Amino acid sequence: MRFGVFCTYENPQQDFARCFETQTLLVRQAEALGFEEAWVAEHHFDPDAVCPSILSLLAYLSGVTSRIRLGSAAVLLAFRNPIQVAEDVATIDILSRGRFDFGVARGGPFELQNRHFGAGKDNAREMTLEALGLVDRLLYEDKVTFTGAHYEANGVSLAPRPLQQPIPTYLATTTPGAIRYAARNGFGVMAGPPFPIEQIRETLRIYREAAGPEGDPRFTMARFYFAAQRREQALAEAVPFFARFAERMRGNFARQDGAPPPSLTEEGLLERSLVGDFDEVAEKISAYREQTGFRAILLKPISRDAEKNLRSLEDFARHIRPALGAEAAAAAAQ
């Protein structure tokens, strides 16, 4: 059982420089407290979640950390040249001395992203899987020649090559075909903070059915997080965040002429988040472990106050992780 932080570069003060500074402090704090992983999201054209240059951010974080593993959650491959992505991934793996985890995704209901990057929502998934297959070959094969529906390569040899052989690779998806693709290729799967547990369990069922008895989904799940000594303190930080998040997501679905999922309510988000007093959060994590067998759980601190987020990570390390028993302690000691 491993623990990490999920970084979406929230920007409540509308101050980009401060946003980058506070998120860097959060990752360094997580490393100092013994968290094993830090994952960075990719969003575009969003002043409230300022992480468009995901691979640049991860390269920077590799230079200001020394032990914590760094992951992309996730690179939106349909918006990028896969040869350039492969070069960047190999470079980050070297800079981090083999601490990189490579997560990819199609991208959520963000109409501006699809429009400005020329990847329509109807073919973005196909583009993502084709690009992932090409990136995977480029990282480990010499003189790659490939012709697909969207991308091609003619005798390409990557320089540099990554240290890890292979780099752990993950796909964030709920689509059955993409889940089976991940299973057939030995990739892990990820789930974002709003995903309902029923959806997650169905993803894992499809994966294990496709992968067979030896398949390991290496399941990694992110959850919104804020813990405090009293539940009321945690709710005071969480409820305003859930209201803003639900409003933003409903607007994104509306701009794509789609209906938001029924679970996208403030009450539903609270139910699926690690928010409450220390005992309540520990009990929720234990329940998630029993329901999914997750490899790692990633905490997305949700206070608008950066100092409170840092203290909440301290509270997790001091009060919650020890309550989770020997398995969590063993991961922290590695």
Q: Positive or negative CA dihedral for 109, 183, 69, 28?
A: positive
pLDDT at 334: 59
Kindly compute the dihedral angle of the four CA atoms of residues 161, 167, 172, 177, in this order, to the nearest 10 degrees: 90
Q: Is the pLDDT of residue 70 over 80?
A: yes
Instruction: List pLDDT tens digits, range 112-162.
Output: 777 877 787 778 999 999 999 999 999 999 999 999 999 999 999 999 999
- In one letter, which amino acid is 262? P
> In this model, does residue 327 exceed pLDDT 80?
no
pTM of the model: 0.93
Report residue 180: phi and psi, to 5°: -65, -35
Summary mean pLDDT of the chain:
93
Each residue's pLDDT tens digit, 34-54: 999 999 999 999 999 999 999
The stretches of the chain forming alpha helices (DSSP H) are 16-32, 54-64, 82-95, 111-116, 124-140, 176-185, 197-211, 231-255, 266-271, 278-292, 306-315, 326-333
Q: What pLDDT, on the 0 to 100 scale, is given for residue 47?
A: 92
Least confident of 117-121, 161-165, 172-176: 117-121
pLDDT digits (tens, 9 = 90+) for 101-110: 999 999 866 7
pLDDT tens profile 3-18: 999 999 999 999 999 9
256 vs 77 pLDDT, higher one: 77
Residue 245's pLDDT band, with cuts at 50, 70 and 90, is confident
Mean pLDDT of 179-199: 96
Q: How far apart are CA 17 and CA 15, in angstroms?
A: 6
Tell whether the model's pLDDT for residue 259 goes beyond 70: no
